[in-house]
Structure 1
Amino acid sequence: MRCASIIRMMNHFLTEEVFTNGVSKYLKEFEYQNAVQDDLWEHLNDEANTMQIVDLPATVKEVMDTWTLQTGYPVVNAMRDGQNVTVNQKRFLLDSTATEETPTYWYVPLNLVRSSNVAEFDSTNATVWLYPNASSVEFTLDQDDEWYIINAQQTGYYRVNYDEKNWEALNKTLSESHEVIHVINRAQILDDALNLARAGLLNYTIALSLTQYLGQEKSYIPWATTADNLSYLRRMLETSGKYEEYRAYILSLIKDVLARVGFEFPVLEDVPANGNYPDVTEVMYNELIWGTACQMGEPWCHGNATEQFRNWKGNYNQSAPDQALLNPNIKGLVYCEGVRSGTVEDWDFVYEHYNKTNYAAERTLLLAAMACTKESWLLNKYLYMLLDPVTNGIRSQDVSRAFAYIAANPIGRAEAFKFVKVNWDHLKESYGGGISALGRFISPFSNFNTQYELELLQTLKRENEGTLGSAARAMDQTIESVVINIEWMNKNFDAVVGWLEANNAGGRGISVL
């Protein structure tokens, strides 16, 4: 993703014409030959000099070396004073406790969109550059500009942090007329704000307030980036006594979406005969909303999903297990809800289907569904089936994936850790030879967020110091993640819960099944 994002950024600051011509000449010259990245930079630089339609701050090599030979990426800080906006850069560090011994800087392409001229969203070329030093640059706004956005259509590979007044103005615009802002920049605003808050660079009150407009949002990208970011809050809160506050707030966001005319639970008949959807992002949007609704226990979603599960089970053809009976976009959701609210018979039925299906993608959905149960004894049974995968019909390549699904279930988290501790020698013997196989039984515990859980991991490491082998790196990384989670809990738990309590009234009246 990083490589693709950097290439996209380069395409925009060079312009499409320069980039396309330069790449074409590079590919033609090095056809059937070896090349290094400097060869590409040279051809792009030559094309930029030849066409003279873009003004670069340095050679393409000098610009791109700051992006390809350094780790990380910057956060651009913007501060407004009257009509002037001062911009500087700093390396973005998600870990709020981390520091840099030597500051890292980049050549950063900048552009600005003003509230008085939203047509600037279509102008993605760089108008100003930050240089790889501690200097800053300035933009000038019109007097009547209520807000401004840096990085039109998020073509630059960096985050942006604004002054508090601009965040408030953006929040007001999202609430009152969100479509004025380009859809990609709506996603950017949410993604930047929530990541900046997690990194300790922005107050969570500001970041979470920006999400309140989402009930009006009909586009997939802003919802997807928000769901991805809020999943961290969910993981931090789901084993606490305050998870209900998170659940109620998410339900308050999606209730307006579910209430829209024509927004129905997907069925098999919705799939086009030729398989080609007019707008695939609409399909992804529906899948995301319904998936979130069921995960939060929304009754309408639960009822639809369990009804489809019963119909699938009732019409199941033993001789043709892969017969199409469900909309493929919500299969995983239906399987999961069926198991979550079902009986041991339903769990066994899903397990039997796992052993009959001919499709690897279907098996993955079923592995995840079997971990959706609320019964701890069933999760424990599932865990111990993994010790003898051949006998139990579970493919060896699916074992670590199934384990991760079980550990991701709050009910199964403690059982999963106990399983690893008790069966370490067996796991070491079976999976210790691979480069990262054994580590896959450690990494799922990176969601731990209490001192007690940290001590459990440290004890496991200490007791098996000499036998960690390929899991040593995963163990260290997991412990590091848990330390960061504990720091986050200490700094942000009360503030986040307090904000949720004050803003989730719209979801309190929705019963949970």
Structure 2
Amino acid sequence: MWLNEGFASYMEYLGADAVCPELKTLDQFVVQELQNVFHLDSLKSSHQISVAVNNSDEINYIFDRISYGKGATIIRMMEHFLTSKVFRKGLTNYLQERKYSSAEQDDLWSALTEQAYEDGIFDGNMTIKEIMDTWTLQTGYPVVTAIRNETSLILKQERFLIGGKSEDKNSTLWWLPITLKGQYDNMLTKIWMKAEQEIVIDFNRDPSFWFLVNVNQTGYYRVNYDIENWQLLTKELNSRSGFKNFDPKNRAQLLDDALNLASAGYLDYDMAMNVTRYLVHEREYVPWRAAFNSFDFLYAIFSHSGQFDKFKDYMLYLLDGLYKEITFNETPNDATLKIYMRMDMLWRACQLGKLECVQESLKQFNKWQFTINPDKENVISPNLRGIVYCNAIKSGSQSEWDFAWQRYLNTDVGSEKELLMSGLGCSREPWILYRYLEWAITEGSGIRKQDSVRVFSAVSSTIVGQHISYSFLKANWNKIKKYMGSSLMLFTGIVRECISTYPSQEELTDIKQFVKSKSDDLSSASRVIQQLVEQGEANLEWKKRNFDKIVRWLSSFRG
């Protein structure tokens, strides 16, 4: 199954790049697929790509980010270490040989190995099966630690876990295609870690020059460095134009790796936060997208604390120049990535309470609200409607909510219904949110049964709504279950949205007790529930270990 879905996911990006290279879809792949799946795959409760299914109910839960995102990512990695030419020739041979018949992954591995031998990419001691079985038949992915030692470089691998270093470092090892480049190197160095815990290679470079591993993040692994190299990389990033010496994909990689390595305890948070300082000069979408992914985690943590103002001030400092350049003002000639940047940036700016952003959202919503025929004359840009709807309803009164609800009932456009449905969950009025959830499980309310999960997701996405949705779930369990009937996927989806992954210790204990009491109803979704609980536990441990450190860094930061 993963071969089908993984190839389909990867080919979407290759096809789009062939037709519209200006979209930079292959750059976007790094943040939309590779880094996106990293988080789920760093849980102990993750699963192999190639996994056995014990009953029909389990099938739906295999169609997750592991099958799609990780599948696409390791196929991309394979194309890079084979070269595109060899990969495509081998793939063509495989399709010709297996047409009109069934196939399994070993058939593809054989075809690619034969082509790699023919073109001299592999010697006789390597096979695709030996390499790729470590990726498809094992759970997780590694972190490679690179330590410079005089004229050599030590490379070590171990499984990366969100909760910190594994106690059994030797239990899981991968075949790793290592790409390496020094600050002034003109050529890439390419070597293999052949399921070895540690290798040492010659590396005669000036110790005052930085080096980079996993160039363009073509490999499915994180990279940690010795402290001296992290300092050199950070210095280069934070020089006025030095960050441009790194490809946008590698800037995204450095941000994502640094913040996640720090989160898991592999790197000091002071170093990771110092890496983010350069963003005040960054104008490319892909690095910012990587940063937003990690900052969203910090937002969720800090928004549940009395130290939120410190995080907010730092974020608004980083966003200030970007906001002034992009704002709400669209032009017909805006590049696609600029549109994406505007949407992501405005969402965070308004979320952080930037006054101009919130006021503009209200202004545009109210202008729409008072048009003669709002169902036919929506003056808000389609690209900005999600931002405007949410912030106007969040900052407005019942009047804004009722207006949006009526537009939801009146529109026949599916995408508009989805935007309005999400925006309606942004209200800060508890009674409105309780009523909205009630309507989501009531026949004839105007909300289709298949859209109920989206309503619970919208309500749960806010601090106010998270507690309300979980309380509602517990109080209405049997009613929700009865309303969803045989649709186990929808029922599990509602449960997933209502369980917070940022709980207090008391809330986590309650969640564990509650899901245990409902274990019979959730038997086929046990992996999903286990992942949610594990994320909650990891986030609690993270707060104990790192929260005060980041507060101190934010308190001492001077822009």
Q: Is the 8 A contact 1:86 1:139 kept in 2?
A: no
Q: Is the 8 A contact 2:170 2:197 kept in 1?
A: no
Q: Is the 8 A contact 2:501 2:533 kept in 1?
A: no
The 5 A counterparts of 1:280-299 are: 280-299=336-355
Partner of 2:322: 257
CA distance in 2 between counterparts of 1:151 and 1:144 reads: 19
Q: 1:142 aligns with which of 189, 196, 205?
A: 205
Q: Is the 8 A contact 1:449 1:489 kept in 2?
A: no
1:173 and 2:236 aligned: yes
Task: Please report how far the alpha carbon of residue 147 of structure 1 lies from its aligned counterpart in structure 2 after TM superposition.
Answer: 0.4
Task: Please report how far the alpha carbon of residue 128 of structure 1 lies from its aligned counterpart in structure 2 after TM superposition.
Answer: 0.9
Partner of 1:346: 400
1:405 and 2:458 aligned: yes
Q: 2:255 aligns with which of 179, 183, 190?
A: 190
String of CA shifts for 1:121-162, please: whole Å, max 9, x gaps: xx4xx6211011323132414226520000111111111000
The change in CA–CA distance for 1:473 and 1:54 in structure 2 (over 3 A counts) is closer
1:428 and 2:477 aligned: no
Task: Please report how far the alpha carbon of residue 430 of structure 1 lies from its aligned counterpart in structure 2 after TM superposition.
Answer: 2.0
CA distance in 2 between counterparts of 1:67 and 1:97 reads: 19
| Aligned partner letter, 1:234 | Y
Task: Please report how far the alpha carbon of residue 340 of structure 1 lies from its aligned counterpart in structure 2 after TM superposition.
Answer: 1.3
Range moving further from structure 2, 415-424 or 471-480 = 471-480
CA distance in 1 between counterparts of 2:203 and 2:372 reads: 66
Q: Is the 8 A contact 2:449 2:484 kept in 1?
A: no
Partner of 2:365: 309
Partner of 1:511: none
Q: Is the 8 A contact 1:116 1:142 kept in 2?
A: no
String of CA shifts for 1:42-95, please: whole Å, max 9, x gaps: 221111221225558611221121112211111111011233221121111112
SS at match of 1:78: strand
Q: Is the 8 A contact 2:159 2:166 kept in 1?
A: no
What residue ranges of structure 2 are gaps of 5+ in the alignment? 1-68
What is the percentage of aligned positions where both structures have the same residue? 34
CA distance in 1 between counterparts of 2:507 and 2:87 reads: 51
Task: Please report how far the alpha carbon of residue 30 of structure 1 lies from its aligned counterpart in structure 2 after TM superposition.
Answer: 1.9
Q: Is the 8 A contact 2:368 2:378 kept in 1?
A: no
Partner of 1:80: 148
Q: 2:433 aligns with which of 353, 366, 379?
A: 379
Q: 2:555 aligns with which of 488, 501, 504?
A: 501
SS at match of 2:386: helix
Q: Is the 8 A contact 1:266 1:327 kept in 2?
A: no
The 5 A counterparts of 1:417-496 are: 417-431=470-484, 433-444=486-497, 445-468=499-522, 473-496=527-550
1:34 and 2:87 aligned: no
Q: Is the 8 A contact 2:156 2:197 kept in 1?
A: yes
CA distance in 1 between counterparts of 2:140 and 2:523 reads: 29
CA distance in 2 between counterparts of 1:287 and 1:164 reads: 36
What residue ranges of structure 1 are gaps of 5+ in the alignment? 507-513
CA distance in 2 between counterparts of 1:55 and 1:308 reads: 63
Task: Please report how far the alpha carbon of residue 110 of structure 1 lies from its aligned counterpart in structure 2 after TM superposition.
Answer: 0.8
Q: Is the 8 A contact 1:116 1:144 kept in 2?
A: no
SS at match of 2:295: helix
CA distance in 1 between counterparts of 2:106 and 2:523 reads: 38
| Aligned partner letter, 1:159 | R
CA distance in 1 between counterparts of 2:445 and 2:483 reads: 16
CA distance in 2 between counterparts of 1:461 and 1:198 reads: 27
Aligned residues: 488
Task: Please report how far the alpha carbon of residue 189 of structure 1 lies from its aligned counterpart in structure 2 after TM superposition.
Answer: 0.6
The 5 A counterparts of 1:106-185 are: 106-117=174-185, 119-120=186-187, 123=188, 127-143=190-206, 145-176=208-239, 177-185=242-250
CA distance in 2 between counterparts of 1:480 and 1:342 reads: 37
| Aligned partner letter, 1:151 | N
| Aligned partner letter, 1:235 | A
Q: Is the 8 A contact 2:466 2:500 kept in 1?
A: no
CA distance in 2 between counterparts of 1:417 and 1:463 reads: 15
Partner of 1:509: none
SS at match of 2:306: coil
CA distance in 2 between counterparts of 1:356 and 1:203 reads: 53
SS at match of 2:293: helix
Range moving further from structure 2, 15-24 or 175-184 = 15-24
The change in CA–CA distance for 1:473 and 1:161 in structure 2 (over 3 A counts) is closer
Range moving further from structure 2, 180-189 or 282-291 = 282-291
SS at match of 2:463: coil
CA distance in 2 between counterparts of 1:141 and 1:327 reads: 55
The change in CA–CA distance for 1:428 and 1:128 in structure 2 (over 3 A counts) is same
String of CA shifts for 1:455-495, please: whole Å, max 9, x gaps: 22134235545555556554444333222221111111111
Q: 1:335 aligns with which of 386, 389, 403?
A: 389
Partner of 2:10: none
CA distance in 1 between counterparts of 2:207 and 2:296 reads: 38
The change in CA–CA distance for 1:13 and 1:487 in structure 2 (over 3 A counts) is same
CA distance in 2 between counterparts of 1:394 and 1:98 reads: 46
SS at match of 2:102: coil
Q: 1:365 aligns with which of 419, 424, 432?
A: 419
| Aligned partner letter, 1:350 | A
CA distance in 1 between counterparts of 2:372 and 2:264 reads: 49
Partner of 1:212: 277
| Aligned partner letter, 2:284 | S
CA distance in 2 between counterparts of 1:358 and 1:215 reads: 42
Task: Please report how far the alpha carbon of residue 413 of structure 1 lies from its aligned counterpart in structure 2 after TM superposition.
Answer: 2.0
| Aligned partner letter, 1:249 | Y
| Aligned partner letter, 2:400 | D
SS at match of 1:170: helix
String of CA shifts for 1:197-253, please: whole Å, max 9, x gaps: 121111111111111111111111110011111211111221211122221111111
CA distance in 2 between counterparts of 1:193 and 1:167 reads: 9
1:59 and 2:118 aligned: no
Q: Is the 8 A contact 1:432 1:470 kept in 2?
A: no
| Aligned partner letter, 1:288 | D
CA distance in 2 between counterparts of 1:83 and 1:285 reads: 42
String of CA shifts for 1:4-32, please: whole Å, max 9, x gaps: 11111111111121112111222222222
Partner of 2:137: 69
Q: Is the 8 A contact 1:113 1:148 kept in 2?
A: yes
The 5 A counterparts of 1:229-244 are: 229-244=294-309
| Aligned partner letter, 1:446 | S
Task: Please report how far the alpha carbon of residue 343 of structure 1 lies from its aligned counterpart in structure 2 after TM superposition.
Answer: 1.5
